[in-house]
Amino acid sequence: QKEVEQDPGPLSVPEGAIVSLNCTYSNSAFQYFMWYRQYSRKGPELLMYTYSSGNKEDGRFTAQVDKSSKYISLFIRDSQPSDSATYLCAMRTSGGYNKLIFGAGTRLAVHP
């Protein structure tokens, strides 16, 4: 079993839809939770970052962490064609070696 599970999709939605992307994990020691966005043939870029549990909002994007369920989510409101990309969740522990563990990535397509 992978430490981080993420449905690879693809997910196709119409412009303006609310998108929900999710990851589950097995390591209860994870404290930092991130979402990276990766456009085709580019490197990933950090989109959202949350420490421990709770919600974080940035414009149209909301990240949620539920440590009791070992479940994280990224919501995109009013999705735009420019949001079409692969979204990768990533996590790491707070101590020791700083390794990031990535999910497989979910490919999202927002069509006009």
Partner 1 sequence: DAGITQSPRHKVTETGTPVTLRCHQTENHRYMYWYRQDPGHGLRLIHYSYGVKDTDKGEVSDGYSVSRSKTEDFLLTLESATSSQTSVYFCAIGPDRANTEAFFGQGTRLTVV
Binding mask 2-31 for partner 1 (x = CB under 8 A): --x-x-x-----------------------
Distance CA 11, CA 19 (A): 9
CB 105 within 8 A of CB 88: yes
By C-beta, is 61 or 102 nearer to partner 1? 102
Helix (H, G, I), strand (E, B) or coil at 13: strand
Pairing of strands 54-58, 4-6: unpaired
Residue 42 in contact with partner 1, rule: CB under 8 A? yes
User: Residues 53, 90, 87, 22: is their CA dihedral positive or negative?
Assistant: negative
Which span (36-44, 53-61, 63-71, 72-80) binds partner 1, by CB under 8 A?
36-44
What is the closest distance, in whole angstroms, from the C-beta atom of residue 104 to partner 1 in the complex? Answer: 4
- Interacting residue ranges for partner 1, rule: CB under 8 A: 4, 6, 8, 32, 34, 41-46, 49, 51, 88, 90, 92, 97-100, 102-105
